[in-house]
């Protein structure tokens, strides 16, 4: 996470770090990422006990590839959730955008990068359109994007034409999900990530010290740094022992880190949180509330398109099922499971990655155990319900214990 987060955590514990408080904060979501990591450990243990392939390097690499699409779409969903809105069209948009890319690349012989850019442009335009309709006419986003879900699914069928499916053969497109880096490159990635994270933490801390705002010492930051470094090194070691670090994982990670920066460190991100927290207060503070809303839905559409491109690349094809099935619900469920509130104003882009990992692990583990779709759907539904209940309980707790 970020240096500011570390400082925040540090300050809020100041003077009242009893165990009771710690437990309450765990429930109330301040420590929701810890909660999710614990959940992941439990999931891993359960599946590992029953199927020893679960934690193998090969399966973990597969898992990372499986979650790329959901993770990318969830990145956009996080922004929509932060507003307290919902975007039900992301699945259909991802399918349609991928189909546009496939048609341009396969039927019209477009350059791969131009075709991908066109796909993202389609996603962004759709998001812009839906965001504008939602904010201009004050229609619930639920309804606008539900209409979108149907319309864009129709558009997908239209674009794919009679055959209903297109095989992608441009290696530049299929390479996105099927490229693995050598061990050396993998370790270079690890070194760069660890060094960059350390540098960000250190400069942030030095700035606070020089401004006289440092409190509680550097220990929590060091703990964070060691923790993250250990995860990065372990991940690269595991991925290297199979096929190597996949390009897809780096793409997902890049978007998560980049968008987390946008959400937490920029003026725009702060305005998203403000609109999600209290739109009227944001409006009175001079924030262009509708502008923020349109921008957020544009981000959501763009991320859906990027996710769709990755899915097409992994499948080597686009068909009538692209972006369909439970993709939409899983992309929304992921961040909620990992602690982004459905009620707006609370969450982080990291929950897109963590949530995709939780959902991906469950689905992957159940596949390994060859469970039926019936069981898989019910379990996934149960996990989503649990996550929403935890979110709602945390919210109630905040409301009752919040205003002292």
Q: Which helix (H) or strand (E) holds 318?
A: strand 317-319
Stretch that binds another protein, among 134-142, 231-239, 261-269, 324-332 (CB under 8 A): 261-269
Give the residue with the Cβ less far from another protein, 224 or 360.
224
Q: Does 79 bind another protein (CB under 8 A)?
A: no
Contact residue for another protein among 274, 303, 312, 349 (CB under 8 A): 274
Q: Does 137 bind another protein (CB under 8 A)?
A: no
Does residue 370 sit in helix, strand or coil? coil
Q: Residue 167's beta-bridge partner residues?
A: 317
Rounded (5°) CA angle 144-323-320:
110
CA 148 from centroid of its chain's CA atoms: 21
* Helices 247-265 and 3-13, packing angle to 10 deg: 60
Q: How far apart are CA 205 and CA 198, in angstroms?
A: 11
Give the residue with the Cβ less far from another protein, 38 or 285.
285
Q: How far apart are CA 323 and CA 70, in angstroms?
A: 10
Give the residue with the Cβ less far from another protein, 35 or 346.
346
Q: Does 53 bind another protein (CB under 8 A)?
A: no
Which residues make Cβ contacts (< 8 Å) with residue 337, sequence separation at least 6?
36, 351, 355, 358, 359, 383, 384, 386, 387
Q: Does 254 bind another protein (CB under 8 A)?
A: no
Contact residue for another protein among 229, 237, 261, 368 (CB under 8 A): 261
| Residues in 190-209 at the binding interface with another protein, rule: CB under 8 A | 207-208
What sign does the CA torsion over 78, 376, 155, 107 have? positive
Give the residue with the Cβ less far from another protein, 53 or 207.
207
Of 393, 293, 300, nearest to 343 (Cα)?
Answer: 393
Contact residue for another protein among 143, 175, 284, 321 (CB under 8 A): 284
Q: Does 111 bind another protein (CB under 8 A)?
A: no
Q: Does 11 bind another protein (CB under 8 A)?
A: yes
Shortest CB 84 distance to another protein, Å: 10
Contact residue for another protein among 268, 320, 326, 397 (CB under 8 A): 268
Give the residue with the Cβ less far from another protein, 162 or 403.
403
Of 78, 73, 71, 90, nearest to 353 (Cα)?
Answer: 71
The contact mask relative to another protein for 330-349 (x = CB under 8 A, - = no) is --------------xxx---
Q: How far apart are CA 265 and CA 321, in angstroms?
A: 38
Q: Does 400 bind another protein (CB under 8 A)?
A: no
Which residues make Cβ contacts (< 8 Å) with residue 229, sequence separation at least 6?
194, 197, 198
Q: How far apart are CA 204 and CA 1, in angstroms?
A: 12
Stretch that binds another protein, among 218-226, 259-267, 360-368, 371-379 (CB under 8 A): 259-267
Q: Does 212 bind another protein (CB under 8 A)?
A: yes
Binding site for another protein (CB under 8 A): 4, 7-8, 11-12, 14-15, 207-208, 211-213, 261-262, 265-268, 270, 273-274, 276-278, 280-282, 284-287, 344-346, 398, 402-404
């Amino acid at each position: 996470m970020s240096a500011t987060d570390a400082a925040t955590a540090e300050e809020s514990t100041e003077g009242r770090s009893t165990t009771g408080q710690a437990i309450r904060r765990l429930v109330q979501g301040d420590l929701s990422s810890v909660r999710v990591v614990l959940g992941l450990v439990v999931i891993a243990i359960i599946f590992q006990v029953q199927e020893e392939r679960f934690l193998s390097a090969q399966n973990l690499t597969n898992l990372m590839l499986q979650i790329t699409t959901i993770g990318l779409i969830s990145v956009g969903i996080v922004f929509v959730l932060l507003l307290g809105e919902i975007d039900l069209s992301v699945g259909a948009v991802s399918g349609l955008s991928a189909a546009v890319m496939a048609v341009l690349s396969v039927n019209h012989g477009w350059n791969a990068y131009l075709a991908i850019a066109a796909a993202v442009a389609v996603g962004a335009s759709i998001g812009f359109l839906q965001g504008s309709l939602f904010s201009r006419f004050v229609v619930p986003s639920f309804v606008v994007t539900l209409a979108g879900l149907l319309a864009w699914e129709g558009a997908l069928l239209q674009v794919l034409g009679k055959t209903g499916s297109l095989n992608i053969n441009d290696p530049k497109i299929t390479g996105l999900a099927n490229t693995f880096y050598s061990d050396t490159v993998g370790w270079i990635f690890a070194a760069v990530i660890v060094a960059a994270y350390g540098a960000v933490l250190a400069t942030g801390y030095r700035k606070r010290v020089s401004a006289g705002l440092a409190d509680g010492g550097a220990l929590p930051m060091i703990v964070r740094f060691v923790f993250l470094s250990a995860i990065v090194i372990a991940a690269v070691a595991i991925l290297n022992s199979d096929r190597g670090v996949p390009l897809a994982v780096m793409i997902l990670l890049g978007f998560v880190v980049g968008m987390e920066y946008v959400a937490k460190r920029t003026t725009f991100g702060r305005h998203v949180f403000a609109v999600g927290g209290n739109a009227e207060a944001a409006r009175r503070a001079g924030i262009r509330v509708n502008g923020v809303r349109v921008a957020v839905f544009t981000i959501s559409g763009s991320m859906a398109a990027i996710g769709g491109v990755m899915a097409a690349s992994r499948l080597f094809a686009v068909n009538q099922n692209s972006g369909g099935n439970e993709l939409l619900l899983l992309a929304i469920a992921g961040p909620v499971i990992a602690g982004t509130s459905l009620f707006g104003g609370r969450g982080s882009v990291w929950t897109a990655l963590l949530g995709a990992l939780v959902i991906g692990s469950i689905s992957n583990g159940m596949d390994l155990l060859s469970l039926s779709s019936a069981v898989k759907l019910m379990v996934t539904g149960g996990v989503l319900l649990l996550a929403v209940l935890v979110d709602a309980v945390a919210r109630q707790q905040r409301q009752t214990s919040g205003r002292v």
